[in-house]
A = this chain, B = another copy of it.
């Protein structure tokens, strides 16, 4: 696959450190040092300005704009109006003049340093800017985004000049930032308030009537002349040689605020030190129950902690109306949309780390059930069809081949309901929200499928399975398997309620049973499942014959060309085996792995992890290690050369899944937690935490074997290498 690390950052166990400013790394650094807390997020652009490419990006979860509507005409069921997470105001906006000279980050900066502290969420950036007349300014910018008081952030700026001089600093909120993929700013200012060192402003979106309020107060340890600036406050003061001045900005940002702007709300805003202390406590709690420790592999140690940090700060189920965008809150790519990755890659992590977040992810789909019902109607189907890409629950993908042919978002929701309720025993959710969704998804599944011509089998025709290199096929194995699974799961849940007729008629259930028993599957004598009708006859392409420079294929090949060989983009049959390991024998896994892996080019960042996990199951350590090799550092080492656009948030979840499901052999078989840990070559030991029983289990794996202990709670029962094992505190 020929991916090459672009090693920019120093390797430390608890920090990401950048020691040199290189303008060509500007966009990658903005992404890597992003902060978020689910409510909001921002890239680490230089707030004072930089002589380099920049994507000034601040985002609020669930704040979006509709794209201009497509013109009249067009085919039914094709999305005419996508939506996207909109870039908000630059609330770190800072303009600095010292001795009459503008100070910003340029190639002349000396002693540049930036780090992210994973134990506190502090981002620190400092450098020395040369000034004329043998003067120089040491400047530091620190950012804290509060994890608990999630509407709050603090900016601290420290200035220290070599010689006496005058300084002037403007702190503002810039509501004119361009949303780059739209080419324009989509906000209108609706209110403003000021009061010496306090400032407030509100902006409203164009199409969704969502308002964001930004409040800040400035505190400084130095007397200063204060003046109103257009978009904030300007301070002027003398800088004494060698005497640092600290300016602190405490911010409160609110989506859809009530009443008038109230600057008084700032009275209780945390100071920088208070915010830092509270964040440090928050992250200590997190690491205690979610850390993964790796001894003997510093790069992966740093990598997995970075992934866990990003995952937790991006989503923890604060709000059941949010989901996880493919790029989180770190950039415009994918329009802030959430995909079925949420259920298939992120949910496994949350199920074993944060049940509140897991429930919120599933609840999000319940909140958006009305939109899914509407979508099913647009597609001439019954029940509920979940979108392939969305923020607000409506389908946002205007490529019909994805939006109309991919059934996997819907079957993934059914899978998530079962995975969540099986593991947590949350029957209240299952028998209220869950059952309603399951029944509606089953209706969609059945209405989207059909019996074959001689009525011997039921299948799905004209679909695109997880392997997007086969665009419109019949009886995609994954789609058929998950469709059948959805019907069986729904029937099993209906069998457990007293009044199944409240949800579904007897005739309907009989039809579903009949269909579930006749789902079309083609399996060879050697146990290989045909990925879809006719796959085995497709022209063979030796994927190693493709020149490296032709990747990514979507950018270099004619669109239709990728669809007509046995090359696959990402696992489809193997994906079913990842989601339901208990349904397949080792021999089946082996036969399918050996058939499909050589045909897979992994043109999805989510593909290698599935292969790593199945390779582990087959005892293929080298293959597993190869597929794992850049899982934890996909963004830190910019393997795909597009970390510029934002972080691969859902792949970050796959990094955890690869270690804990792959090396740790963790999975849930219905309600039972199963483990089969294995120590990868080159590691001295590793340990991971997971929720089980009434608390948190710590698994430590080293050459001597596996030890399990309770970190929290009184006890848990798990299956270790297939044997029941009881763990007590």
Instruction: Spell out A's residues near B (CB within 8 Å).
Output: 75-78, 378-381, 400, 404-405, 450-454, 461-462, 471-472, 474, 533-534, 536-540, 554-561, 563-566
Q: Which listed residue (B76, B77, B559) contacts A78, Cβ 8 A?
A: B559
Closest-CB distance, A526 to chain B (whole angstroms): 15
For the complex of A and B, the 7 pairs showing the least CB-CB separation, nearest first, are A450-B539, A77-B558, A461-B564, A75-B559, A462-B564, A404-B560, A472-B472
- B566–A379 CB distance below 8 A: no
- A474–B557 CB distance below 8 A: no
- A453–B540 CB distance below 8 A: yes
Residues in B with CB closer than 8 Å to A554 are 75
Closest-CB distance, A383 to chain B (whole angstroms): 14
Residues in B with CB closer than 8 Å to A558 are 75-77, 378-381, 404
Take A379-B561, A450-B565, A534-B534 as given contacts and tell me if A461 and B556 are in contact as well, using a CB distance cutoff of 8 Å.
no
The CA-CA distance from A127 to B623 in the complex, in Å, is 87
- A556–B76 CB distance below 8 A: yes
User: In this complex, what residue of B is CB-closest to A450?
Assistant: B539
Residues in B with CB closer than 8 Å to A452 are 537-539
| 28 A-B residue pairs with CB within 8 Å | A75-B554, A76-B555, A76-B556, A76-B558, A76-B559, A77-B560, A77-B561, A78-B559, A378-B558, A379-B561, A380-B558, A380-B561, A400-B559, A404-B559, A450-B539, A451-B539, A452-B539, A453-B538, A453-B566, A461-B538, A461-B539, A461-B563, A461-B565, A462-B560, A462-B563, A474-B534, A474-B538, A534-B534
Residues in B with CB closer than 8 Å to A378 are 558
Take A451-B539, A452-B539, A536-B453 as given contacts and tell me if A76 and B565 are in contact as well, using a CB distance cutoff of 8 Å.
no
User: Beyond the given A452-B537, A533-B537, could you list 6 further A-B residue pairs with CB under 8 A, ordered by the A residue number?
Assistant: A380-B561, A381-B558, A400-B559, A453-B536, A533-B533, A534-B534
- Among A381, A536, A539, A560, max chain B CB count under 10 A is at A560
Closest-CB distance, A454 to chain B (whole angstroms): 8
Residues in B with CB closer than 8 Å to A78 are 559
Residues in B with CB closer than 8 Å to A565 are 450, 461
The CA-CA distance from A450 to B558 in the complex, in Å, is 16
The CA-CA distance from A533 to B404 in the complex, in Å, is 22
The CA-CA distance from A558 to B79 in the complex, in Å, is 11
The CA-CA distance from A538 to B458 in the complex, in Å, is 10
The CA-CA distance from A76 to B550 in the complex, in Å, is 12
The CA-CA distance from A539 to B450 in the complex, in Å, is 6
- Among A75, A557, A559, A565, max chain B CB count under 10 A is at A559
Residues in B with CB closer than 8 Å to A536 are 453
The CA-CA distance from A558 to B451 in the complex, in Å, is 20
Take A461-B539, A474-B534, A564-B462 as given contacts and tell me if A557 and B76 are in contact as well, using a CB distance cutoff of 8 Å.
yes
The CA-CA distance from A533 to B470 in the complex, in Å, is 15
- A453–B76 CB distance below 8 A: no
Closest-CB distance, A712 to chain B (whole angstroms): 49
The CA-CA distance from A539 to B537 in the complex, in Å, is 21
- B453–A559 CB distance below 8 A: no
The CA-CA distance from A472 to B405 in the complex, in Å, is 12
The CA-CA distance from A226 to B471 in the complex, in Å, is 68
User: In this complex, what residue of B is CB-closest to A559?
Assistant: B75
- A539–B380 CB distance below 8 A: no
Residues in B with CB closer than 8 Å to A557 are 76, 380
The CA-CA distance from A533 to B539 in the complex, in Å, is 14
The CA-CA distance from A536 to B454 in the complex, in Å, is 9
Closest-CB distance, A264 to chain B (whole angstroms): 46
The CA-CA distance from A558 to B381 in the complex, in Å, is 9
Take A75-B554, A450-B565, A539-B452 as given contacts and tell me if A400 and B560 are in contact as well, using a CB distance cutoff of 8 Å.
yes
- Among A78, A450, A454, max chain B CB count under 10 A is at A450
User: In this complex, what residue of B is CB-closest to A536?
Assistant: B453
Take A400-B559, A462-B563, A563-B462 as given contacts and tell me if A534 and B533 are in contact as well, using a CB distance cutoff of 8 Å.
yes
The CA-CA distance from A555 to B76 in the complex, in Å, is 7
Closest-CB distance, A450 to chain B (whole angstroms): 3
Residues in B with CB closer than 8 Å to A454 are 537
Residues in B with CB closer than 8 Å to A538 are 452-453, 461, 474
The CA-CA distance from A485 to B123 in the complex, in Å, is 68
- Among A378, A405, A534, max chain B CB count under 10 A is at A534
User: In this complex, what residue of B is CB-closest to A76?
Assistant: B558
The CA-CA distance from A703 to B380 in the complex, in Å, is 53
Residues in B with CB closer than 8 Å to A471 are 462, 472
- Among A378, A379, A400, A462, max chain B CB count under 10 A is at A462
- A563–B75 CB distance below 8 A: no
Residues in B with CB closer than 8 Å to A461 are 538-539, 563-565
User: In this complex, what residue of B is CB-closest to A77?
Assistant: B558
User: In this complex, what residue of B is CB-closest to A471?
Assistant: B472
The CA-CA distance from A77 to B562 in the complex, in Å, is 12
Closest-CB distance, A528 to chain B (whole angstroms): 13
Closest-CB distance, A535 to chain B (whole angstroms): 9
The CA-CA distance from A12 to B42 in the complex, in Å, is 77
User: In this complex, what residue of B is CB-closest to A183?
Assistant: B71
Residues in B with CB closer than 8 Å to A379 are 558, 560-561
Closest-CB distance, A479 to chain B (whole angstroms): 12
Closest-CB distance, A447 to chain B (whole angstroms): 10
Take A555-B76, A558-B379 as given contacts and tell me if A539 and B453 are in contact as well, using a CB distance cutoff of 8 Å.
yes
- Among A450, A557, A564, max chain B CB count under 10 A is at A564
The CA-CA distance from A565 to B561 in the complex, in Å, is 25
The CA-CA distance from A676 to B113 in the complex, in Å, is 91
The CA-CA distance from A564 to B559 in the complex, in Å, is 22
- B560–A450 CB distance below 8 A: no
The CA-CA distance from A379 to B557 in the complex, in Å, is 8
Residues in B with CB closer than 8 Å to A450 are 539, 564-565
The CA-CA distance from A556 to B559 in the complex, in Å, is 28
The CA-CA distance from A564 to B564 in the complex, in Å, is 19
The CA-CA distance from A404 to B558 in the complex, in Å, is 9
Residues in B with CB closer than 8 Å to A75 are 554, 558-559
User: In this complex, what residue of B is CB-closest to A550?
Assistant: B380
The CA-CA distance from A538 to B474 in the complex, in Å, is 9
Residues in B with CB closer than 8 Å to A560 are 77, 379, 400, 404-405, 462
The CA-CA distance from A438 to B452 in the complex, in Å, is 41
Residues in B with CB closer than 8 Å to A453 are 536-540, 566
The CA-CA distance from A141 to B726 in the complex, in Å, is 100
Residues in B with CB closer than 8 Å to A380 are 557-558, 561
